[in-house]
Amino acid sequence: MMNFLKQVFTWWNGQTLGTRFFTWRKGEKVGEDEFGNVYYRAPSALPASIAERRWVIYNGLAEPSTIPPGWHGWMHHRVDTPPDGDYEARDWQKAHEANHTGTAQAYRPAGSLFNPQPAEAEAKGYKAWQPD
């Protein structure tokens, strides 16, 4: 019952009723990643001009950063085939890290009001112009 209410009243928890209905009518399940996100596709109504439609149903909160690199390439039509089960990320691809915005781990540059260390007064590298 709670899952149904989430689908009716929120868009950020999994899928809405509209997405569920569209997925049921037109979606073809392509695969699932290690985070439990499920990927779908549907053929285009105009195949000569528009690529197939691809979408993901997130496991839990709709957090796009949870899409692994292999699936990201498929979602954005960079590759035609979805990654298989033994996909290995390249050396330069980072593992998923949750979005830290609004948490204590968020990035706070020097000079930010939320940075716990006070900003050091920087020496001016110029002399301000003064009228004579």
CA distance 12 to 62: 5
- For the chain, give the mean pLDDT: 81
Between residues 6 and 54, which one has the greater pLDDT? 54
Question: Could you tell me the residue ranges of all domains in the chain?
Answer: 2-75
User: DSSP H helical segments within the chain, as ranges?
Assistant: 2-9, 17-26, 69-75
pLDDT at 118 over 80: no
CA distance 85 to 105: 32
Q: How far is CA 39 from the centre of its chain?
A: 14
pLDDT, tens digit, for every residue of 54-90?
999 988 888 888 888 888 888 999 888 888 767 777 8
